[in-house]
Structure 1
């Protein structure tokens, strides 16, 4: 009976689970001396100014960190990906997984740990439980539509008097771009509602909402399958998974779950792509100049209109100029120049933007230290007893990076150069095998199989329910649908704003 309960929990949407359930963890947590030495090594290698810090010259300011090529030699740009892909990836994560109970470096059984998000690409981070369960998310004058407010200049999330966003997942107000994406999806849904009503005169609000949500979900999943995943893992690997089948993420239909190898390691690759600073918009400042800002800056703490990109604040300049984050075409250039307005991601590698080593506590769900993001990621590997990257590579038949690829770990004398934390291994693999332009085989297998698998087995996935689906909303190329089309339909694109 006990064994049966464990198996059910391991394949339940309500709990986390393991993609490689029989694999040994990268550190023996029963050996308290080795465990403590491993924790000490992680805290050292992942600390501010230490081995993983890209050592961005923050004092040069946010604009220079973008436009000065000399400041991008260590923390290199990824010419294949626009800057918005990082935040689309964060938005996807918040739609799939939210662990509110486990603690860093405290060994926890994923099979009994609740996932408070439904591990399906169903936008429950936007819709919550729907108009009946979460009426606070919906327009009281039209229950088919979601609430949206104004930040003065353009749209903003609905907020309480203290500035707290009224949204299903509080993490979607962590920074300006993720808040902007949440607002864009709200407006996207609302405009799809208008379209559904025009096509179904006389339909009641419930029917309109249901039809609109399905359209929104399937166009969103289409973007994941045809735009996001090809950029992250490569079109060749997308094709291989779809044509050859999933080998390691194989839940039965309806028994979808979130693997901790994805949640706690492989999918955190996006942290390596975050820039230290961004051009938030092209003309948001009171004098009409561009708003440049660090992703996080300790100087922004307590400010009503922070100098950085932290969320939770409302001010006229705190909106996103999407032409910086996605490529709307060559007609959108830098002010007074011919250089493209769209800016690139950073590469996937073991050099992390310096701003991510000093996170505001408000961006950490538990509100606890440590504030260095790389340390948090690798301690999470201990929480879940994750396997080493090398063992996963062996299991999937991929080339295994040897100890010589991990000289930064050898000085600690605990064997981590041969049994490397999975998150670090995924970054190094991308760096060594793919020049940081996309994930390597371990990272791509975990990320690709989970995303495609969820669309194939989770309720609401178009690959499960309507595999012949083709986008039918307006797009630059009929029969396709990309993020620039979604943002345009939502009317947050640069043309709609006259910017």
Structure 2
């Protein structure tokens, strides 16, 4: 929770120079900030945010939860099956990056950078966490708790704030603890190297843990800037959190979401309203969205260059996951839960700093990078089987009794994909297709794997916009005319490159 703002006129003057920077509109935006913080507190206190999942569509499931259907889903999602990109892992992590022709079934997306994938994972963790529903066993979404708040409020970073989660904060109760892996920042860790953060999923891989650490530093730099602007100490944390959160929400709406669904669809939703995700009361995470958004798994590369010079002066390359890394103190792969001098992220690989070092992610299609079919147990919340990410995603359709992609498309008035695109299935899935696969196939068939289309684009777009609109403390609700106030390469906007630069985890700050 945010500390309540006293909000006297004299205190607002010092914030005005920082938050406004826009002449006569500054005072109004400062008042908007105070109102937004108070609105968020009221929403949390009065239950205006749902703590369970829900549905958008009242439609029959795509198939029954029978042993035959389960077996067909397991076959679809197995290692070596139809969804496996069959990357030649024997070529090693470097060659799979420098020679993409080695894996022709797993194409690069030239319009996304590698960081898009992990920003998407970070957002997912911020709004949804199902830790209780049984895999493959029909369960009512309304009875399944969502362990995250269904808004973009960075609760995976802030937890309940310094009072509720003092273990995440320094003694000043204003800034986050940040530790070092020997060269650069690392998450704070206990004696067993478990990350001391509100949601352990943000230590699943090196990229997501690096992004979490970057947000810790981002907040700390904002606190320092606000203090230099004269913001009273009693207001520093709440003001810093809202400033960080609004810049983060701007990136979601203006940079990340356009990459997934295109700016025209976003503009249409904002102008004409949401047609399908229209909760009468509290915001919630629809299970249809929860599954469709897993399209991000198809964007994951088999391997990455984590940094340019961390491995004895040489680049550190690794598979996203590699069974050989199990039990190693400094794993050969890029799994999380470890600390070593080379285990940090050089962000020029993941976001475009205009230095020629950025690398792409993979296309949105039905081919999933091979390492994701052999997840480490630590990457599976609660552990357990199966270890194939594709199998887990497909079985989740039975958990939620999800309708087929075709039924949702028909309900939305969206033309169906040609059945010929879906002829690889057994068990009747070619005419009643699991939603996740259908969304991936839409991206592949209609968007050339570059962008989402059809059901996936509309569903994801409406929920993203809806979560921002239903949050009374978001900039889109509280101050729709607000513009970013932190330094940026382009005035009036703010990007991930700007965030990383302000946090001082950019290549220039590291001399790389």
Question: By the TM > 0.5 criterion, same fold?
Answer: yes
Residues 129-208 of structure 1 mapped to structure 2, 5 A cutoff: 129-140=160-171, 142-201=172-231, 203-204=232-233, 206-208=234-236
Q: Secondary structure at the match of 1:284?
A: strand
Are 1:50 and 2:81 counterparts? yes
Normalising to structure 2: TM-score of the pair?
0.90
Which range moved further: 472-481 or 393-402?
393-402
Are 1:309 and 2:365 counterparts? no
Residues 446-485 of structure 1 mapped to structure 2, 5 A cutoff: 446-485=459-498
Are 1:384 and 2:409 counterparts? no
Q: Secondary structure at the match of 2:306?
A: strand
- Contact 1:358-1:371 at 8 Å conserved across structures: yes
CA distance in 2, matches of 1:380, 1:11: 27
Unaligned runs of 5+ in 1: 1-9, 30-34, 333-339
Unaligned runs of 5+ in 2: 1-46
Q: Secondary structure at the match of 1:356?
A: helix
CA distance in 1, matches of 2:237, 2:473: 15
- Contact 2:100-2:108 at 8 Å conserved across structures: no
Residue 509 of structure 2, aligned match among 481, 493, 496: 496
Cα shift readout 1:22-72 (whole Å, capped 9, x = no counterpart)? 11111133xxxxx21111111111100111110000000000000013224
Residues 290-309 of structure 1 mapped to structure 2, 5 A cutoff: 290-309=315-334
- Contact 2:397-2:434 at 8 Å conserved across structures: yes
Residue 437 of structure 2, aligned match among 424, 436, 441: 424
Are 1:38 and 2:69 counterparts? yes
- Contact 2:49-2:149 at 8 Å conserved across structures: no
CA distance in 1, matches of 2:133, 2:471: 25
Structure 1 residue aligned with 2:21? none
- Contact 1:11-1:17 at 8 Å conserved across structures: no
CA distance in 1, matches of 2:178, 2:299: 30
Structure 1 residue aligned with 2:100? 69
Superposed displacement of residue 83, structure 1:
0.4
Q: Secondary structure at the match of 2:164?
A: coil
Structure 2 residue aligned with 1:440? 453
Structure 2 residue aligned with 1:324? 349
Are 1:219 and 2:247 counterparts? yes
Structure 2 residue aligned with 1:27? 63
Cα shift readout 1:82-115 (whole Å, capped 9, x = no counterpart)? 0000000000000000011001101110011100
CA distance in 2, matches of 1:11, 1:39: 37
Residue 362 of structure 1, aligned match among 378, 386, 400: 378
Superposed displacement of residue 402, structure 1:
3.7
Q: Secondary structure at the match of 2:317?
A: strand
CA distance in 2, matches of 1:156, 1:375: 32
Superposed displacement of residue 19, structure 1:
1.2
CA distance in 2, matches of 1:11, 1:107: 27
Structure 2 residue aligned with 1:273? 299
Superposed displacement of residue 393, structure 1:
0.5
Superposed displacement of residue 252, structure 1:
4.2
Structure 2 residue aligned with 1:116? 147
Superposed displacement of residue 456, structure 1:
0.6
- Contact 1:454-1:461 at 8 Å conserved across structures: no
Cα shift readout 1:345-385 (whole Å, capped 9, x = no counterpart)? 10000010001000001100020010111100010011001
CA distance in 1, matches of 2:186, 2:411: 46
Residue 259 of structure 1, aligned match among 273, 276, 286: 286
Superposed displacement of residue 12, structure 1:
5.2
CA distance in 2, matches of 1:311, 1:82: 21
CA distance in 2, matches of 1:441, 1:18: 19
Normalising to structure 1: TM-score of the pair?
0.92
Superposed displacement of residue 256, structure 1:
0.6
* Residues 123/12 of structure 1: CA separation in 2 closer, same or farther (3 Å cut): closer
- Contact 1:11-1:251 at 8 Å conserved across structures: no
- Contact 1:158-1:166 at 8 Å conserved across structures: yes
CA distance in 2, matches of 1:128, 1:250: 28
Deviating above 3 A after TM superposition, structure 1's stretches of 4 or more consecutive aligned residues are none
CA distance in 1, matches of 2:388, 2:376: 10
CA distance in 1, matches of 2:139, 2:439: 22
Superposed displacement of residue 401, structure 1:
1.5
- Contact 2:307-2:347 at 8 Å conserved across structures: yes
Superposed displacement of residue 403, structure 1:
2.6
